Structure 1
Amino acid sequence: MKVLITGANGLLGQKLVKLYESNEDVDVIASARGANRNPFGSYTYEQMDVTVASEVAKIISKHQPDVVINTAAMTHVDQCELDPVTCQELNVDAVANLIEGCKQTDSFLIHLSTDFIFDGEDGPYKEDDSPNPLSKYAESKLESEKLLQASGLRHAIVRTMLVYGIVHDMSRSNIILWVKKSLEEKQLIKVVNDQWRTPTLAEDLAKGCALIAEKRAEGVWNISGEDLLTPYDMAMATADFFDLDKSLIEKADGSIFTQPAKRPPRTGFILDKAKRELGYDPVSFKEGLAILKSQLDNV
């Protein structure tokens, strides 16, 4: 199987490249807009800007992938609100480019979406629940889903949320690394306790995408963790795990933070379909912390 990964410099992209490195039956073409930030490996790297239709068509035509996994996106929710034009280009127009490219080679397209397409009034959610986006980011991701569903292309939509993990060069942070660093520096932190998510270990998300790719499993899939937690719960669990001072963590209401984009209060995913049909089996949040710690120890 030949797999083309877009956004390969990002967290999920890097985890997918690493996951497939150990599989001799998969040829990987990693792609991103800039220079390669993955460790050296047996994959091929191509610079490709997903917002440029001619580049997408050229690279897909050149490699003729069986599967394309689109992890490229503008995911900073507030930035999407402030810059809707770029948000539209990266989250919608780019998907249209990938659809056209994949049609020429009959490639199976796996596209990443988000829990934010829901308003958070009735979570956790199943795949067939009705979306109601609250932000420009959420609207763009829902629009990209609809593009795919109307395209006639063989595809899968992978909805996920609050992905955590580390990239090999430590160039990106996440809530766990932020909490750990803040508490180690004896900083008092305020953490939201009125928003619920099922946080997703990046390795689990990569495995979920790989299961879908292997089966060419069409349709919508919820791929996340199972533990329904607030960011405050996550912070407290992180402090416990790394034996840090929990008294520095203060509960906060989301309303005290001035943010351009509205967040859904309670999402979370029901994973029954992915477990039953894909054999998807995510780790617990505590197990995810242990995996993160082992990776930090090796950095």
Structure 2
Amino acid sequence: MRIFITGSNGFLAQKFCELIKDEQLPYNVLGVSKSANRNIYLNDDEFVRLDLVDFEVLKQEITKFKPTHILHTAAVTAVEACEEDKQYADLINVALTEYLSQYAKDNNSHFTFISTDFVFDGTEGPYSEEDSTKAVNYYGQSKILAENAVLASGATAAILRTILVYGAIPDRSRGNLVLWAKGQLEQNKPIKVVSDQWRMPTWVDDLAQSCLLAMNMHAKGIFHISGDELMTIEESVYKIADALSLKKELISPITAKELGQENNRPRMTGFNLKKSKIVLKYQPTPFVESLTYICDQLKRYGR
């Protein structure tokens, strides 16, 4: 297996590379990113710094590497950033995805693409893979367009939609809900957490494992990958405080309307995971159990 990874400095990509190293899998990997290599699991021979929207340079590198598999994690994921610069969001989230999926089709490479619960408007969650998409922000809309491009390419491709990814990696520059809440509460800082948005948080280790499962079986189609516990974001932070013996009295609710997110974030997403559990043999880790693993990982990383 020769795996070409976009966005190799990203949260998921770093965890995926850690998984390969930990399991001592005999795979060749090439990571690419616009910034200097921060992925400690990639050595100098396994990383190329390049601007992914320079399709000529991208073509040279991917053609030279000859991947059997492509893991496309690079994206503009910040909702506000996508709204402010839709043209750039289109370039990274849509055009790049279209280019890579077409390469995969033309060169018989398996393509794994990471998408999001934000392709749904949040009015009828939890959602199955067959439910109609409708985004309430341009980030979600760009991912809908990207998904359509992947499907239209005819590539053997797995589209993995996921939700509110959390967890731990050695790279301190990568934050998420769990690490933010842990860090604030450990410093006795009060935090406000949205109380009327429902999600199924996804442990990054589970998401990385699902990528590997999809690759190994050359899976094709759309798959929902998340935890299987629906909760408000406020409830998830209370669970974090309970599990880590932190002060819950520092947590207070705030509404999506007060945050300015009433209309530009889906209210309730969540996934039906039946297809992924049956086809990919995906088994999500319970949320509280994952928090114990994360604490152990942080100690191992020296964080």
TM-score strictly above 0.5: yes
2:7 match? 7
Q: Is the CA contact 1:136–1:261 (under 8 Å) kept in the aligned structure 2? A: no
Equivalent runs, 1:35-184 vs 2, <5 Å: 35-41=36-42, 44-184=46-186
Q: Structure 2: which amino acid aligns with 1:16?
A: F
Q: Is contact 2:105–2:153 with CA below 8 Å preserved after alignment?
A: no
Query: How far did 1:29 drift?
Result: 1.3
Please show how residues 201-216 of structure 1 align to structure 2 within 5 Å. Answer: 201-216=203-218
Deviations for 1:241-299, whole angstroms, at most 9, x for unmatched residues?
A: 11111111112211001359700000001111111111111101101111111112222
- Deviation >3 Å, runs of 4+: 40-43
Determine if contact 1:20/1:28 at 8 Å carries over to the other structure.
no
From the superposition, tell whether residues 285 and 98 of structure 1 become closer, same or farther in structure 2 (CA, over 3 Å): same
Q: Which letter does structure 1 place at the counterpart of 2:18?
A: K
* Segment of structure 1 superposing worse, 134-143 or 35-44: 35-44
1:185-200 matched pairs, under 5 angstroms: 185-200=187-202
Cα shift at 1:55: 2.1
Q: Secondary structure at the match of 1:194?
A: coil
Query: Which residue does the alignment assign to 1:296?
Result: 298
The alignment's C-alpha RMSD in Å is 1.6
2:27 match: 26
Judge conservation of contact 2:112–2:159 (CA < 8 Å) in 1.
Answer: yes
Closer, same or farther: CA 40–124 of 1 in aligned 2, 3 Å: closer
* Closer/same/farther in 2, CA of residues 105 and 294 from structure 1, 3 Å limit: same
Task: Measure, in 1, the Cα distance between the counterparts of 2:42 and 2:255.
Answer: 45
1:230 Cα deviation from its structure 2 partner: 1.1
Count of residue correspondences: 299
Q: 1:227 to 1:54 in 2, by over 3 A?
A: same
Task: Pick the aligned partner of 2:286 from 275, 284, 287.
Answer: 284
TM-score (norm 1): 0.96
Could you tell me which runs of 5 or more consecutive residues in structure 1 were left unpaired when the two chains were aligned: none
Gaps of 5+ in 2: none
Q: 14-23 or 265-274: which moved more?
A: 14-23
Q: Does 1:217 align with 2:188?
A: no
The alignment's TM-score, normalised by the length of structure 2, stands at 0.94
Amino acid at match of 2:178: I
Q: 1:40 to 1:120 in 2, by over 3 A?
A: closer
- Are the counterparts in 2 of residues 99 and 153 from structure 1 also a CA contact under 8 Å? yes
Quick one: which of 233, 246, 250 aligns to 2:235? 233
8 Å contact kept, 1:52–1:94: no
The 1:261–1:13 alpha-carbon spacing in structure 2 relative to 1, beyond 3 Å, is: farther
Structure 1 residue 23: Cα displacement: 3.5
- CA–CA distance in 1 between the matches of 2:26 and 2:187? 46
Partners of 2:33 and 2:103 in 1: how far apart? 16
Cα deviation code 1:164-209 (max 9, x no counterpart): 1123121121111111222222222111111111100111000001
Deviations 1:145-171 (A, max 9, x none): 001111122211110010011231211
